[in-house]
Amino acid sequence: MPVLDSKLCMKCFACLSACPNSAISESQNGPKFDNKKCKKCGTCAQMCPAGAITV
Ligand code: SF4
Ligand code: SF4
């Protein structure tokens, strides 16, 4: 399950389109991860320009 550091997130939502499993949705506080859909591939963490996601 990816963990978001909300202090680093700039809400660009690059992670959302990068997720191959559509496990990320938009929320006011940044990306919201769907536990059931996430395959822990790490793509979102790699694509985040702010380094705000840890998988
Ligand atoms: S890519 Fe990174 S900075 Fe952009 S919304 Fe996702 S977590 Fe936040
Ligand atoms: S780890 Fe992979 S499957 Fe999970 S939210 Fe990130 S990009 Fe999507």
What per-residue confidence (pLDDT) applies to 11? 98
What per-residue confidence (pLDDT) applies to 31? 98
What pTM did the predictor assign?
0.95
Q: What is the pLDDT of residues 1-50, one digit of tens each?
A: 899 999 999 999 999 999 999 999 999 999 999 999 999 999 999 999 99
Distance, in Å, from the CA atom of 9 to the CA atom of 31, rounded to the nearest integer, reads 9
Ligand 1 environment, Cβ below 6 A: 4, 9-15, 30-31, 48, 50, 52-53
Cβ within 8 Å of residue 54, ≥6 positions away? 2, 3, 5, 45
Reported CATH class of domain 3-54: alpha beta
Distance, in Å, from the CA atom of 50 to the CA atom of 37, rounded to the nearest integer, reads 23
Ligand 2 mean position, distance from CA 27 (Å): 16
What per-residue confidence (pLDDT) applies to 20? 98
What per-residue confidence (pLDDT) applies to 1? 87
What per-residue confidence (pLDDT) applies to 14? 98
Q: Where are the domains of the chain?
A: 3-54
